Amino acid sequence: MVAGDIDQISSLHTAIWKATYAGMVAQDRLDALTPAESASRWRQTVGDLAGHAGRGIRIRCATSLDTQEMVGFAASGPARDHDAPAPTELWS
């Protein structure tokens, strides 16, 4: 992921939250989610990643071959549990 991906990933992330957590999270909270709010968090994340490049934190984006639009993403990094079964964990 690069800084230029932030607008697409923010829109996708917002849509994923609204679809996934409907009925589990208060609807007013979901309605308040916006791509702009998500973009602010992603900008911070990208900046933080630049400072932690050696820590093994990775974000990978999946793109449609037909439209070149982002259709998914995954974040991984060092396992956060001290007794984790593997050194790396899928974060999202």
**5-19 pLDDT, tens per residue?**
889 999 999 999 999
pLDDT of residue 2: 73
6: closest CA among 57, 55, 42, 53?
42
pLDDT tens-digit series, residues 28-79: 999 999 999 999 988 887 777 666 665 777 888 899 999 988 899 888 888 8
What confidence score (pLDDT) does residue 45 get? 76
Q: Tell me whether residue 77 is exposed, middle or buried, using C-beta atoms within 10 angstroms of its C-beta: 0 to 12, 13 to 18, 19 or more.
A: middle
Output the pLDDT for position 44: 81
pLDDT of residue 80: 86
What pLDDT sits at residue 53? 60
Q: Is the pLDDT confidence value at 20 over 90?
A: yes
Select from 3.40.50.720, 2.60.40.420, 3.90.226.10, 3.40.630.30 the CATH code of 3-90. 3.40.630.30
| C-beta separation of 61 from 5 below 8 A | yes
